[in-house]
Structure 1
Amino acid sequence: MSTVNYSDKIPNNVNLSEDRTLQRALEGWQPNFVNWWDDVGPDGSTGYDVYLRTAVSVDPQGWAQFGHVKMRDYRWGIFLNPGDASREIHFGDHKGEKAWQDVPGEHRANLRRIIVTQGDTEPASVEQQRHLGLTAPSMYDLRNLYQINVEEGRHLWAMVYLLHKHFGRDGREEAEALLQRTSGDVDNPRILGAFNEKTPDWLAFFMFTYFTDRDGKFQLSALAESAFDPLARTTKFMLTEEAHHMFVGESGVSRVLTRTAAVMNELKTDDAQKVRAAGAIDLGTIQRYLNFHYSVTIDLFGADQSSNAAIFYSSGLKGRYEEGKRTDDHVLKGQTYKVLEVKDGQLVEKDVPMLNALNEVLRDDFIKDSVAGVNRWNKVLEKAGIPTRLTVPHKAFNRQIGALAGIKMSPDGRVVGEAEWAAKKSEWLPTPDDFAFVASLMGRVVDPGKFAGWIAPPVMGINRQPVDFEYVRFG
């Protein structure tokens, strides 16, 4: 069992106290992190005692301890999965060699870029979700939001540790910059587009945690294969925490659908305006939110053909999702993969070298996983006797990155002209009216066991606690 040393100022299982220079550098970064949390972390939450889980080990049985804690005092720390001295690189040009404990000079710039890009997403989502606590639909949901926030903060620590430990002055400067960029800032935005979008309401939050945190799952899984062993061990542990974020999204949308279906059945109508008038979110609005968050998220995987993706794989820096379960040669030279392009106004497939298409491979794995969850949402509607089904739009819909960027595409996969796009866009993507309506529902409900009228209660509480448990104590 890999226990965490809580006697140190920074909880860790990496023997931080044995490296005084590194310890001092991270202890110097810590106050800046706390200042960032105070400035742009969860709004108005400083005095709250929140029922949070904290890592006490990275052992599967013992990595989470529950208790009320002030978020500002949360034991953020540095936790790596246990190492394996005999671990070998299992893909790319270095396949069969020993995994690296230090950064090889020739891969230094690329590894730093990968770590900084991953690190930048973590504080970004905290910033995006800053004001959501003020409109929480229940105390249960408020606690889940705060749990995600503190874990994104810890994931930032995970990347900052790697930058400080392995990248010298460059790493320290990058670690500072992670606290200087701000989501949506005109002059100094976050690196990736989806992390500069607003998360204006709880339906957006549930879609974000379902889709965009799922991108996190796939990116972290690919990095957990890395030949750079400290990165692989760090991201493996981060994946343990990421699962809860996706659960919050999937169960949140399910609960919204449960309530919507109940209202539709009570009123015996599928009329969107009547459903809205009864204080529930109509299925059309939910579908438009889904279309938006899904399309923004699949852009996060990058261009469909990428020389960087080929370099990262061949160099051993980043593998594929579940690399070890794949039955090919794990080198991929001479292999091909199908990607989409538009030719003469039609979508066509073409074969490209698989090494260059690895972003698309990861995107397709993500799509398969996302569709499975949307099918689970449809089971909620089916069970309630509602004939409507949610659908995932075509992967060329509303794309801003790669060969499909800017192509006008309907959700069902037809290339459309400017006129049809302009006419139908408000049926396909959330409108100002949708945002205004959802915003009108966002009143704060925080009495234990009480829930806003647009969402159903969960089936069970957190950590075997009752649904009406006092998850947040307001100081």
Structure 2
Amino acid sequence: MSIDYSQKIPNNVNLSDDRALQRALEHWQPAFLDWWRDMGPDGSHSFDVYLRTAVSVDPSGWAHFDHVKMPDYRWGIFLQPADPERRIHFGEHKGEAAWQDVPGEHRANLRRIIVTQGDTEPASVEQQRHLGLTAPSLYDLRNLFQVNVEEGRHLWAMVYLLHRYFGRDGREEAEALLERRSGDQDNPRILGAFNERTPDWLAFFMFTYFTDRDGKFQLCALAESGFDPLARTTRFMLTEEAHHMFVGESGVSRVLQRTCEVMRERGIEDPAEVRAAGVIDLETIQRYLNFHYSVTIDLFGADQSSNAATFYSAGLKGRFEEGKRADDHVLKSDVYRVLEVRDGHLGEREVPMLNALNEVLRDDYIKDSLGGVARWNKVIEKAGIAFRLTVPHKAFNRKIGTLANVHVSPEGQLISEAEWQANERKWLATDEDRAFVASLMGRVVEPGKYANWIAPPAVGINRQPMDFEYVRFN
């Protein structure tokens, strides 16, 4: 499906055939651009950036590269092609034709799902808006900006659904998406992780690896939805989400590579000596990992949730890779094991799977996250350094659900408040850690040059040469 770039709002949904909808979205567009100018990447509006733009949604044509000013980027509405034979394949409506309009009884829940997903998109742009001022290279600056414009387009995807299918309520929700602000005390973003600061590039790489991976799993679950426009929208968003996770995984790998190079060249292991050499010590990287991982797994919600059961049974939100699972896809008689505290120890108990679907998705996410951490460890192993990054226990540093009221070590041991206080600085990034990392953050903008604390990438974007001018500052 090609995308019509002759329109004011590029799209492949025949927007011009619905004049009322087109006018409503054209009315929202200036407010979006005002938000971008106010809250988008700081000081970047005149830059020419080597960005990827979708020209169609088929695999052979959805990535076109060229230099463009970000305020002129052609955000739009891109849905995967419709399958007229598509059926709902889970929940109580299993076997019925997928919905092309919002069923009245599910209107409020669908709107809530779309608004919550939509709210994460501008939030991450707001969290990252100052990072361009300390970019370690033009390559990294370009990657940041690519992530930012795609988050902006993902916001457009959700706003289209709100305007197209939810009337006045949808229009009001779309306006509110531009009014909330990440970290604002009076009008914060909906989910806690999207109100955290992203103050430095190590935090950015951890965010794009762990938190954008949550986005992948949430989008995969929504891509199963019986509401076909939502499923088609999120399927295309997933093609862009993959790049965000690549930025995170490769970014952390390059930080590790540079640290290990310096440690090996100088024969040093002590964190203070590593820091004195101007690179990020492995212990600090582990503490950043612990923080971003634990904050992200809270995004999946409470381990038992009646809302999750409702969304599944109603056919609104499925599981990750629903079609590959060998059960009845109704789950009324299935059980799942969740964590609980019993007699002073962490244990497990069986609960109805429908109520544990947040935990099912969280566990799928955890398995997927381990792969990148294993690849990071290969970088350290290849350097001959006896240190391994580990993923903390899923009960560690939790703020949501039954585990929010207990303290658990990274190894999964239930501990006292005093033990937590004694070890928290060893397990989670401290103010001193963040200040040290911030001290390394100096902007490097000469083509082909990289900050001392990070290694160059193996290949350039779109196979460009290493000294390619990814960003032109004009």
Query: What TM-score, normalized by structure 1, do the two folds share?
Result: 0.99
Aligned match of 1:160: 159
Residue segments in structure 1 that go unaligned for 5+ positions in a row: none
User: 2:255 corresponds to which residue?
Assistant: 256
Q: Distance in 2 between matches of 1:407 and 1:378?
A: 30
Tell me by how many angstroms 1:473 deviates: 0.4
> Is residue 120–residue 156 contact of structure 1 (8 Å, CA) maintained in 2?
yes
Partner in structure 2 of residue 37 of structure 1: 36
Q: Which amino acid aligns with 1:16?
A: L
State the match for 2:418 in structure 1: 419
The 3-state SS of whatever aligns with 1:333 is coil
| 2:134 alignment partner in structure 1 | 135
> d(CA) in 1 for partners of 2:465 and 2:238?
27
Distance in 1 separating the partners of 2:321 and 2:471: 37
Deviation at 1:266, TM superposition (A): 1.3
Aligned match of 2:53: 54
In the alignment, what sits opposite 1:365?
364
Deviation of 1:343 after TM superposition, in Å, equals: 1.2
Q: Which letter maps to 1:29?
A: W
SS at match of 1:11: coil
Q: Give the 3-state SS of the residue equivalent to 2:392 in structure 1.
A: coil
Give the residue type in structure 2 aligned to 1:28. Answer: H
Distance 2:439 2:404 in 1: 33
SS at match of 1:234: helix
Q: 1:151: which partner in 2?
A: 150
Q: CA deviation at 1:73?
A: 0.2
Instruction: Give the aligned partner of residue 325 of structure 1.
Output: 324
Deviations 1:408-438 (A, max 9, x none): 1110111111111111100000011100000
> Could you tell me which amino acid in structure 1 is paired with residue 321 of structure 2?
E
Superposed CA RMSD: 0.4
Partner in structure 1 of residue 279 of structure 2: 280
Give the match for residue 63 of structure 1.
62
Query: Aligned equivalents of 2:461 and 2:405: distance in 1?
Result: 43
Give the counterpart letter for 1:96 in structure 2: G
Q: CA deviation at 1:267?
A: 1.7
Letter aligned with residue 375 of structure 2: R
- Partners of 1:398 and 1:406 within 8 A in 2: no
Q: How far is the alpha carbon of 1:372 from its aligned partner? A: 1.1
Offset at 1:66?
0.3
Task: List per-residue Cα deviations over 1:194-219 (Å, max 9, x = no partner).
Answer: 00000000000000000000000000
Q: Please give the residue correspondences for 1:32-431 in structure 2 after superposition, counting only pairs within 5 Å.
A: 32-431=31-430
Question: CA separation in 2, counterparts of 1:304 and 1:53?
Answer: 38
Q: Give the total of aligned pairs.
A: 474
Give the distance between the partners of 1:265 and 1:75, measured in 2 at CA.
Answer: 46
Percentage of identical aligned residues: 79
Structure 1 counterpart of 2:376, one-letter code: W
Q: State the secondary structure of the residue aligned to 1:190.
A: coil
TM-score by length of 2: 1.00
Deviations 1:289-335 (A, max 9, x none): 00000000000000000000000000000000000011101000110
Counterpart Cα distance in 2 of 1:173 and 1:54: 29
2:11 is the alignment partner of 1:20:
no
Deviation of 1:6 (Å): 0.8
Secondary structure class of the residue paired with 1:327: coil
Match of 1:446 in 2: 445
Give the Å deviation of 1:402.
0.7
Q: What residue number does 1:434 align with?
A: 433
Runs of 4+ in structure 1 off by over 4 angstroms are none
Shift of 1:7: 0.9
